[in-house]
Structure 1
């Protein structure tokens, strides 16, 4: 996704189904507000799909890099194993002005440039330092320097609900 790509922002509800939700186009939130919510959220909740179709949700730390939300996880974690089979997922975050759900497709990052960008974002936001060796991501602060994997979640659709509980925006990418 290029940095100049702006998704279509629209009201989530129509007059027929809006009660008590707002149908005032002036309440549509810009994507910049949703992006800021993703960038500053201390954590998010990632929902993935198990091989048998059951949902799986876990709290994760997330950063904004490569023009999308990114996460770090151990390759053997349930979420990583789920994403290896089916990249469709939902990232949810809660901010002071916006509750946000991003439907997207997660991809494992192999590109060393993007890996360095994600590692730098984790260091800046959480002071969590990763090292990159031979295309693999490691946390050298832990015994055995365990391997991690970075995933980038490319948004497909997002839904934001205002703090007032009466406004909603959908973004389509």
Structure 2
């Protein structure tokens, strides 16, 4: 993945207490580290009637994107099947982060295996991938899950100082 364009969120013309010093722009690598280290993040999806739905999820950074797991019949999965728009938020020690993107259902076995391995490594949450399906192999028996990759298209990072803000834009430069 190509690094996104990083820029100040506010300009000197804005009436805001936020810094307009370009030296305060945060690198995307800091946002990635924040997401990768987070014990959980908040996933916002959109219901069919347009109302937001927000729930905590476990996240693993795989193949340049945050990835999450959910049950097929969960409100999150139903929402993402109807409308792939998603937002992840997390508050870290040095950065509060909002990542807007598109949720993609992961179906390729090799990708499912990588996400399962990442969730095992980070959370000791074990999944088995069989015939294109993902199962939690915990004590409740084989429970089916889906993996989603959130492809960022825009993100916002706010420094812990309360005075710095960065916007990252993905896509064509």
What TM-score bracket applies, with the shorter chain setting the length? Answer: over 0.9
Distance of 2:167 and 2:135 partners within structure 1: 37
Q: 1:99-126 CA distances to partner (integer Å, 9 max, x unpaired)? A: 0000000011001111010000000100
Q: How many residues align?
A: 170
* Counterpart among 56, 61, 69 of residue 64 in structure 1: 61
Asked if 1:33 corresponds to 2:42, the answer is no
SS at match of 2:120: helix
Asked if 1:99 corresponds to 2:119, the answer is no
* Counterpart among 115, 120, 127 of residue 118 in structure 1: 115
Equivalent residue number for residue 49 of structure 1: 46
Unaligned runs of 5+ in 2: none
Equivalent residue number for residue 13 of structure 2: 16
* Counterpart among 150, 160, 165 of residue 162 in structure 2: 165
Equivalent residue number for residue 141 of structure 1: 138
SS at match of 2:26: coil
TM-score (normalizing by structure 1): 0.96
Q: CA deviation at 1:143?
A: 2.2
Distance of 1:161 and 1:88 partners within structure 2: 22
SS at match of 1:171: strand
TM-score (normalizing by structure 2): 0.96
Q: 1:61-97 CA distances to partner (integer Å, 9 max, x unpaired)? A: 0000121000000010000000000010100011100
Q: CA deviation at 1:18?
A: 4.5
User: Which stretches of structure 1, 4 residues or longer, exceed 4 Å deviation after superposition?
Assistant: none
Q: CA deviation at 1:17?
A: 1.4
Distance of 2:64 and 2:24 partners within structure 1: 25
SS at match of 2:154: strand
Unaligned runs of 5+ in 1: none
Equivalent residue number for residue 155 of structure 1: 152
Change (3 A) 1:84 1:164: same
Q: CA deviation at 1:140?
A: 1.6
